[in-house]
């Protein structure tokens, strides 16, 4: 089975919505966002708890707003511009796919 990665061709328009594997997104984050996924921040934890409670209460992951990612201009790395708490909660609960809104970015 071939894994299709249309975002690597960088031919998409800014704001394109793509469904990606959650673990793929987390493993390809830049170092700052990887540290934020692993860190314990009280503000982020409280937001994450509300998202986890909503998911466990029956809310579908697709009904949440898209996670906004910026693709590096030179490498296969992403920076999260909006939705780090949603991404943390989805990853923690083992949600397989996440909707992502992609944007072109500079090198980071």
pLDDT at position 108, please? 44
As a whole-number percent, the residues of the chain with pLDDT over 70 amount to 88
For residue 107, pLDDT over 60 is answered with no
CB 2: neighbour CB atoms within 10 A? Answer: 4
**How does DSSP assign 59-90, residue by residue?**
--GGGSPPEEEEE-SSSS-EEEEE-HHHHHHH
CATH 3.90.1530.10 fits 12-104, yes or no: yes
Which of the two residues, 27 and 42, has the higher pLDDT score? Answer: 27
């Amino acid at each position: 089975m071939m894994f299709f990665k249309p975002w690597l061709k960088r031919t998409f328009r800014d704001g394109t919505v793509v469904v990606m594997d959650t673990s793929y997104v987390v493993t390809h984050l830049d170092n700052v966002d990887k540290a934020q996924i692993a860190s314990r921040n009280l503000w982020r934890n409280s937001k994450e708890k509300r998202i986890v409670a909503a998911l466990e209460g029956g809310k579908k992951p697709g009904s949440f707003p898209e996670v906004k990612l910026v693709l590096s201009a030179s490498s296969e790395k992403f920076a999260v511009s909006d939705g780090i708490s949603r991404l943390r909660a989805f990853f923690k609960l083992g949600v397989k796919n996440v909707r992502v809104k992609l944007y072109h970015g500079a090198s980071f």
